[in-house]
Structure 1
Amino acid sequence: MFGMSFMKRPISTTLGFTGLYGWALLFLSAFISTCGAAQDASPVGQDALKDILKEQILGVVGDKLLVERDQISVYLDDRRLVVPSCDQKFIISLPFSDRSTVEATCQSENWTKYIRVSVGEYRSAMVYRRDMPAGNIIKRGDIKFVDGRGVSEDKPLIKTIDQVMNRSLKNHVIANEPVLASDFSLVALPNTTVAESVETEVLVATTTINRGVRLDESMFGRHMRRGRLPSDLIFGTGELNHLQANRIIIAGDTLRRSMVSLAPAIKKDDLIQIRIEKGALSVSALVRALSDGSVGDVIEVVNAESGRPLRAKIIDIGSLEII
């Protein structure tokens, strides 16, 4: 009996230890599997949410700018960007005139971010404002300019309004159709004023410039003009970046003082790339100006990604220094 009792005790102890060890291994394995699954699911979830947001951005930008989706790039690769699971569709808008930034909002999650986009190179196109019959004489008010990135160039397009002013239509045209060279008679009106022989080089807008937009040399070309010219023409390009349009300037318009006003160095809602350096560390960020300002002014700005408010000093046109 004594021998039997002696043999049972170690067997029971061994089985108990083995059972506990097995349960511990099972629990640890399950924990590791759960953690691994969570880690695997996290990036997949963000990828899916970013795809949903991207599709909505492509749809809105494509519709508003009249471009195909394959011409639009949406930059959502930043790992710091966390897109929420939104109960409703994101609200997408183009809040700035540069057309390179969209504002995405999820109201149910109280979430708003500015996201960079790029579209094929901008070009303007002329279209008719209304239906007009053959024989109609074209005036400035009959033509309007639109974003031409979605307009086919299979047929020769008219590029400047001077090419069609006082010309007679030889075909019936329809509102919002592009203005084609083939729509016009090559003969000008008999009473068109004969130009004088003196030629003067002037600045002529090559694209439509909206009111409030800062001027840039790339928006203008140099052309020779004959005859009597306005007395307030602007001939040089050195001062253009200090000026802004105070009305819509149409492609083909000759640049005049009456069309422009002095522009602030930084305008409200301008997006400015800044760089913060501290020792060997250098960080760049995109901030949005909350007010206009001149060189030397201190203005409030907000980080376009995080929404954090900052103060910055204007050191040059389009240039800030965080203080």
Structure 2
Amino acid sequence: MNLALAAAALAGTPNDSHGESISQGVDSKHILVSQAQDWVAEDRQLQKSTIEVAPSDRRLIIPVCNTAFEFNYPFASSQKTLRAVCPSSGWQIFLGISVHQSDNALRYTGNFKAGHQLTGTDVELASLSSAIAGLAGDLRAIEGFSLASAVRAGDLVMQRQLVTPIEGYRLNRAVAAGEIVESSSIDSILIASATLSAGQTVTLEQLDGARAARDLAAGKVLSSYDIKKRHQVLITQSGIPRGHPVTRANIALQDYYGKLPNDSLQNYRSAEQMQAIRNLAAGTMLRLSDLTPIDIIRKGDNVQLSVRAGALEITVTMLALENARLEQRVLLLNPESGEEIQAIATAVGQARGLSTVAR
């Protein structure tokens, strides 16, 4: 696209003879144009041959500048006008800039499937007479990308076709259903993120100790549907009758393969101070819905009641009139005075006082 050149000499020329001025002016004009092309080419990352610097008045005499010209864009909103200044004399001129270049694009050199990892040999440069929105025009722009969809040889490379690959895992041998997927059986590969949903991707941590959910052939790219992940869950080691507490003696952490219920218990701490609300057979996965907090105080138990009065703390043996769980209120009886005391259950056989209830 040609742009009009606005050139205005803002300072006078040297007082030489007319013939010498013309000769010097021609040489100086060539120097000025060449330096302007070099500056614009470097500033805008263009080929020098695509840049035109055309004086508005061909009769204009450019004075000799003893140093290289300095350049800048005088208008912040436009790169169509360039200001050239001779530092040694202060002489300056405004130049118009035209850039002539075709739009660069990339096209595929072959037919490629979705998920194909692109390399430099998969595309080649192409020139277009007019711009097309969304094109990838730089060979460096495809490095590290995969295809989101299949393409054919000659198709232009569009930005929407390029996706960042993610790390995936492919079997290098067949694995039977139920067999553990060992690390030696998988190879790390890069796959297009568009070919797997977020729920299908697997990590090395998830593959560690996992079993095949079905017979898997060599070359299979693994997804979460192909494996049963290994989990550690609490399993009953013996039957636990309803109302009986869960203890380290009747449960243990064991491997479990597959999808876990949301309320499964996966550490001993989660089962502390709990009791069964139904009969649990040996080998049952322990779930929160099977348990309820244990009564740490039972009706008829002797309870050590702690009552604080200022800095003084008194402990009295009381009789529980009802069951209570941890941090629940419990009604206690003083056998000697007959008083009933409201307290909070704090541990097995222990409580802290709240208030006195008149009989």
Q: TM-score, normalised on structure 2?
A: 0.28
Q: TM-score, normalised on structure 1?
A: 0.30
Name the structure where helix makes up a greater proportion of residues. 1
